[in-house]
Amino acid sequence: MRASVLYAAGLPRPYADSKPLTLEDLERPAPRRGEVAVDIACSSLCHSDLSVVDGVRVRPLPMALGHEAVGRVSAVGDGVFDVRVGDHVVLVFVPSCGECRLCLAGRPALCARAAEANGSGDLLHGPALLKTRGGERINHHLGVSAFADHVVVARESVVVIDDGVPYEVAAMFGCAVLTGMGAVANTARVESGQSVAVFGLGAVGLAAVMAAKLAGASAVVAIDPNTAKHALALEAGATHAGTPEEAEALVRRTAGEGVDVAIEAAGSARVLAACLDVTSRGGA
């Protein structure tokens, strides 16, 4: 099988020259008990992959990257009864064991066992399976490692989806959509009639824009320095779009003293401060 492996983090930019990822021919692993094998159909690039490449997120290396993907189940291990060969599945980067304190408290996204496995480059049900033809261990990225043509993951790392969902759409449900949608629906709990500002119009921000529109927000102000993103945001449901310099004036015009909810989707402390600047008293 082939996978894209990072051997050293923090190489100089541009990455087109330093080429941090190496396409490796690895031994093809088989699923163990509680695991499934998936042939990857589509995988998208997330900023969290880049954060491992540039060294901001320190991970054990070498590591096969990629965590936002969709594919088709090619084999299931012992003890897996609810996923079948041929099922289309979205990969999940935070599996939950269902048994630890946080899982039992109804907070599966904080699963302690998954966090430990993800941090050490292992899988939920056992040590890393990936290795080079020479036998060198390759760590898994977030229990997925989807920049590959084949993966073996914990059963808890897949969600079966309808076969009719196009692969290139479904792949984004592995991270960007659930992050942006989750911020709006689960964290901010945006209600009909509220005003929302979204800073950063990558895939997460655009998913937040769509979720805010779906929630019935009265105004959705979309902000990004890249003006090429503005038309896309308006198409996705934003009522207004502009640059960071225009943000305050846009919010004043549409939401008076400030928005009810501001979403930071750029991963930057400076942008978080800008969010607070446009949030109304008592907003979130």
| Per CB under 5 A, 37 contacts Zn ion | no
Min separation Cβ 111 and Zn ion, Å: 3
Nearest Cα neighbor of 222 from 192, 263, 165 is 263
Give residue 51's region: left, alpha or beta (phi > 0; psi -120 to 50): alpha
Question: CA–CA distance from 67 to each of 100, 112, 157, 188, 258 (Å)?
Answer: 23, 19, 10, 25, 36
Among residues 103, 138, 178, 201, the one that binds Zn ion under rule CB under 5 A:
103
Min separation Cβ 191 and Zn ion, Å: 27
Residues 6+ apart with CB under 8 A from 228: none
- Interface pattern 170-199 for Zn ion (x via CB under 5 A): -----x------------------------
Question: Which of residues 111 and 233 has its CB atom nearest to Zn ion in the complex?
Answer: 111
| Per CB under 5 A, 48 contacts Zn ion | yes
- Interface pattern 130-169 for Zn ion (x via CB under 5 A): ----------------------------------------
Q: For Zn ion, which stretch binds (CB under 5 A), given 23-31, 105-113, 235-243, 273-281?
A: 105-113
Q: For Zn ion, which stretch binds (CB under 5 A), given 47-55, 193-201, 209-217, 242-250?
A: 47-55
Residues 6+ apart with CB under 8 A from 248: 277, 278
Nearest-10 crossing angle of helices 244-255, 269-277: 30
d(CA 171, CA 44): 7
Min separation Cβ 103 and Zn ion, Å: 3
DSSP class of residue 161 equals: E
| Per CB under 5 A, 97 contacts Zn ion | yes
Cα atoms in the Cβ-side hemisphere of radius 13 Å centred on 254: 26
Q: For Zn ion, which stretch binds (CB under 5 A), given 96-104, 139-147, 201-209, 223-231?
A: 96-104
Among residues 53, 90, 100, 151, the one that binds Zn ion under rule CB under 5 A:
100
Nearest Cα neighbor of 137 from 39, 54, 60 is 60
Among residues 46, 183, 265, 275, the one that binds Zn ion under rule CB under 5 A:
46
Q: Compute how many residues bind Zn ion; rule: CB under 5 A.
A: 9
Per the document, the length of the chain is 284
Min separation Cβ 82 and Zn ion, Å: 18
70 alpha-carbon distance from chain centroid? 12
| Per CB under 5 A, 210 contacts Zn ion | no
What are the residues binding Zn ion (CB under 5 A)? Answer: 46, 48, 96-97, 100, 103, 111, 113, 175
